[in-house]
């Protein structure tokens, strides 16, 4: 049965329509946060399962995060929202920057009655997580930052555009069909504003000051990231809780292109187990531990 349309909200949000053919194995739902209609996906698991929220990247919706999120839905209470102004969610009265989006993520959890969660982000979702942890340290268990973006390596805008173009040729063809409608909906003016907000955000400073176990996953073929040697050099400048893993063969949208390997890494990280390849996916992507901060929890013996 087709879902019924609902009235458009005063915030100018689109009709609360659920797709005739859901794109996810997760339940697709609507809620309202600060008067804005927010579209999200949610796993249906026992209420005592640990919460894991996935946050999308620049100009995109949560749809491209689903391949990884769905593989974790039976172990975690999984949430994949379209943040306000992105995807199917309504637009706020004023454009949101990184800090605003971190507050919006917290209010979304408030709306769902959730006090604490592990946050998994890709690209722009990573600085949002860092700011969430900065403002709400008591509300985040762990952080998983996949292909973090927004640093000096992505400046100026023409450089970032060139990097994104190169990355597009390295992603699966299916990613184009998923990403194009999101980018068109987000629009050029919003893209320019959001890029400026990302370049002003102190991503590295926030990352190295995190006081929770933090996993950073980098794609070896990601043109938006510096070489892993440079990452190791910067990460090693201070005592920290950061674990950096390089996924060979992967580009930027790892949550979409390499969901089996990424979900495997996340499970190991959550259990404080050594980072090793997935025995069920041999040969797809080799994993290399680049950096383990002195404050990161030690690996527990397996078995």
pLDDT per residue over 45-84, tens digit each? 776 899 999 999 989 999 999 999 999 999 999 999 999 9
pTM of the model: 0.88
Mean pLDDT by groups of 10 residues along the chain of 303 residues: 40 55 82 96 87 96 97 96 97 93 98 97 95 97 91 65 70 88 88 82 85 93 72 70 90 94 96 85 70 84 62
Q: Answer whether residue 132 is part of any domain.
A: yes
Domain assignment of residue 275, yes or no? yes
Residue 114 burial (CB count, 10 A): 15
**Within a domain: 1:** no
Answer whether 217's CB lies under 8 Å from 254's CB: yes
Q: Are 54 and 65 in contact (CB under 8 A)?
A: yes
- How many structural domains does the chain have? 1
Count how many residues are written for the chain: 303
Instruction: Tell me the pLDDT tens digit for each residue of 191-236.
Output: 888 888 887 888 888 888 889 999 999 998 887 776 666 666 666 6
Q: Supply the pLDDT for residue 12.
A: 43
Distance, in Å, from the CA atom of 133 to the CA atom of 140, rounded to the nearest integer, reads 6
Q: What is the pLDDT of residue 8?
A: 43
Determine, yes or no, domain membership for 14.
no
Tell me whether residue 160 is in a domain: yes
Facing residues of 75 across strands?
Answer: none
Report the CATH number that the domain containing residue 119 is assigned in CATH. Answer: 3.40.50.1820
In SS3 terms, the chain reads as: CCCCCCCCCCCCCCCCCCCCCCCCCCEEEEEEECCEEEEEEECCCCCCCCEEEEECCCCCCHHHHHHHHHHCCCCCEEEEECCCCCCCCCCCCCCCCHHHHHHHHHHHHHHCCCCCEEEEEECCHHHHHHHHHHHCHHHEEEEEEECCCCCHHHCCHHHHHHHHHHHHCCCCHHHHHHHHHHHHHHCHHHHHHHHHHHHHCCHHHHHHCCCCCEEEEEECCCCCCCCHHHHHHHHCCCCCCEEEEEECCCCCCHHHHCHHHHHHHHHHHHCCCCCCCCCCCCCCCCEEEEEECCCCCCCCCCC
- Answer whether residue 20 is part of any domain: no
Name, in order, each residue with C-beta under 8 angstroms of 36's C-beta and a sequence gap of 6 or more.
9, 11, 13, 84, 89, 90, 91, 92
Closest listed residue to residue 199, CA positions, set 241, 242, 159, 144: 159
The rounded distance, in Å, linking the Cα atoms of 163 and 180 is: 17
Residue-number span of the structural domain to which 257 is assigned: 30-292
Would you say residue 2 lies in a domain?
Answer: no
| Domain assignment present for 187 | yes
What pLDDT was estimated at residue 2? 37
**Using N-to-C axis directions, what is the helix angle for 125-135 and 98-111, rounded to 10°?**
70
């Amino acid at each position: 049965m087709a879902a019924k349309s609902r009235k458009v909200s005063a915030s100018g949000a689109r009709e609360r329509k659920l797709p005739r053919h859901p794109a996810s194995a997760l339940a697709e739902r609507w809620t309202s946060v600060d008067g804005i209609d927010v579209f999200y996906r949610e796993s249906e698991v026992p209420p005592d399962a640990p919460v894991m929220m996935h946050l999308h990247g620049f100009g995109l919706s949560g749809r491209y995060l689903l391949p990884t999120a769905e593989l974790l839905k039976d172990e975690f209470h999984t949430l994949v929202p379209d943040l306000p102004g992105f995807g199917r969610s309504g637009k706020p009265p004023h454009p949101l920057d990184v800090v605003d989006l971190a507050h919006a993520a917290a209010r979304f959890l408030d709306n769902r009655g959730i006090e604490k969660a592990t946050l998994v982000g890709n690209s722009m979702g990573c600085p949002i997580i860092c700011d969430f942890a900065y403002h709400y340290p008591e509300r985040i268990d762990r952080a998983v930052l996949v292909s973090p973006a927004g640093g000096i390596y992505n400046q100026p805008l023409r450089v970032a555009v060139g990097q994104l173009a190169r990355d597009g040729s390295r992603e699966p063809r299916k990613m184009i069909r998923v990403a194009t409608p999101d980018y068109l909906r987000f629009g050029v003016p919003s893209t320019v504003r959001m890029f400026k907000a990302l370049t002003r955000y102190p991503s590295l400073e926030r990352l190295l000051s995190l006081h929770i176990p933090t996993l950073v996953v980098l794609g070896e073929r990601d043109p938006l990231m510096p070489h892993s040697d440079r990452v190791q050099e910067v990460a090693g400048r201070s005592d920290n809780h950061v674990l950096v893993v390089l996924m060979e063969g992967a580009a930027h949208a790892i949550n979409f292109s390499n969901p089996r390997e990424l979900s495997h890494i996340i499970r190991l990280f959550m259990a404080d187990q050594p980072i090793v390849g997935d025995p069920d996916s041999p040969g797809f992507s080799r994993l290399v531990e680049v950096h383990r901060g002195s404050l990161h929890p030690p690996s527990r013996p397996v078995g």
